[in-house]
Amino acid sequence: MLQRAAATAWLVILGSWLAACHPSPPQAGLGEQDSQRVAVLEGEAITQGELDDWIKDELFRDQTDDLAPSSVYELRSRSLEGLIDERVAEAEAARRGVSTDELMRLEREALPAISDEQVTDFYEKNKQKMSGATRDQVAGRIRSFLEGARDVEIRAELRKRAKVEVMLEPPRVTVAAEGPSVGPVGAPVTIVEFSDFQCPYCARAGAIVKQIRERYPTQVHFVYRHLPLESIHRNARGAAEASACADAQGRFWDFHDKLFANQQALSAADLQRYAKELGLDTLAFEQCVKERKFQAQVDRDLAAAAEAATGAGKRGLGTPAFFVNGILLSGAKPAEEFYRLIDAELARAAAAPAAGAAGS
């Protein structure tokens, strides 16, 4: 994870070539400036520090007024992580009787030097983004960057030694777990996906969902709900209703995989052919599709998606959209994002009985 974060930041650096990561030098006299009067109201002074605090509050409101609750949470969560890391470093520095800058220097010196192999590995993984520069031409910059990026690793290690309890709660949306599902009902984590068989991002997310199911076979109950975006995917609605017909024969997930593997061929004839290839009762399948027996079910899913979007403070859901115990994750996110959230929910579920016992 550290290498991936370092790679992303390094590529940004390469964009301007001469850019470098250096902390801003401390500004002298801030305490004096904070107490400096900027106005007097009815004999009461207004200081520059009070003014700056008011500006910060105003800026936060301006930047977050139009954001969905989930986006505000993400902003607060990222900021909280940074604040915790800063406070942890300050506490450790105070314990050792040094400044935070000295603490970080000591921690860096305790780590082994960046090896030539690490530099080469980083270069090879990002070679196409190097604008034709050779490994030797950028070796010094790569080494310096990797050394600087170690601060992330150091802060993570310092945090492991500290007692930290995060209580910031993400916004949750109530979404009914109705539809084809895998995993035990009553599992500590329920994931409801709204998806579109013609959406390429949904197909990409399919591989991630399989990883989740393999990693958490008993801890996650996974539910599929339909969100065909008919305005841009003309075959998505028919595919959704056909998959429900396959579900009626107990073959939803096989049909699900077949459709995502053949997104460019979702005509009525294609759907019938897939049913035959999977060994379904083709006459019953054809009759089900023709009579649109599951039109109402897809309509209910569409209505549920609209209601969930409103609950999440959004005008509408894109696809795929996942609700992990009611917490929205939009798009084909990396598996690691799901793991982080699922692990947090599992830890929360595990702590709940203990908290109940303690309070009894």
Are 205 and 161 within one domain?
A: no
Beta strands in 122-219 (DSSP E): 181-182, 189-195
Same domain, 328 and 188: yes
Angle among Cα 344, 349, 353 to the nearest 5 degrees reads 145
Q: Which of 138, 171, 204 is the last residue of a domain?
A: 171
335, part of any domain = yes
- Within 10 angstroms of residue 115's Cβ, the number of other Cβ atoms is 11
Does residue 124 belong to any structural domain of this protein?
A: yes
Same domain? For 187 and 166 the reply is no
Does one domain contain both 165 and 190? no
φ, ψ of residue 249 in degrees (nearest 5): -100, 10
Please state whether the peptide bond connecting residue 200 to the residue before it is cis, i.e. omega within 30 degrees of 0.
no
The pTM (predicted TM-score) of the whole model is 0.65
Q: Determine the pLDDT at residue 98.
A: 96
Q: Label the pairing between strands 220-226 and 189-195.
A: parallel
pLDDT of residue 31: 59
Let me know whether 165 and 222 are in one domain. no
Q: Domain for residue 299, yes or no?
A: yes
Task: Assess whether 201 and 343 both reside in one domain.
Answer: yes
> Is the domain of 197 the same as that of 228?
yes
Domain that holds residue 221: 181-349
The verdict on residue 151 lying in a domain is: yes
Residue 21, domain member (yes or no): no
Residues 194 and 164 in one domain: no
Q: Are residues 249 and 223 in the same domain?
A: yes
Last residue of one domain, picked from the residues 131, 147, 171: 171
| CATH code, domain carrying 301 | 3.40.30.10
Is residue 325 situated within a structural domain? Answer: yes
Hey, how many other C-beta atoms are within 10 angstroms of the C-beta on 310? 13
Q: Which pLDDT belongs to residue 156? A: 87
As a dihedral over the C-alpha atoms of residue 92, residue 348, residue 212, residue 182, rounded to 10 degrees, the angle is 180
Please state, in angstroms and rounded to a whole number, the distance separating the CA atoms of residues 48 and 279.
76
Q: Can you give the pLDDT at residue 17? A: 32
pLDDT at position 59, please?
86
Residue type, 49: G
* pLDDT of 22: 31
Q: Let me know if residue 48 belongs to a domain.
A: no
User: Contact at 8 Å (CB) between 261 and 232?
Assistant: no
User: What pLDDT is attached to residue 301?
Assistant: 97
Domain count, the chain: 2
Give, in order, the Cα–Cα distances in Å from 189 to each of 243, 346, 356: 25, 7, 19
Cα 1 to the chain's mean position, in Å? 14
Domain boundary among 119, 137, 171: 171
**CA 291 distance to own-chain centroid:** 40
Low-confidence ranges of the chain (pLDDT < 50): 1-28, 30, 358-360
**330 shares its domain with 242:** yes
What SS3 class is residue 198? coil
Q: Where are the beta strands (DSSP E) in 87-227?
A: 181-182, 189-195, 220-226
- Do 84 and 6 reside in the same domain of the chain? yes
The verdict on 119 and 137 lying in the same domain is yes
Question: Does 54 fall in a domain?
Answer: no
Place of tokens 């970080």: 104
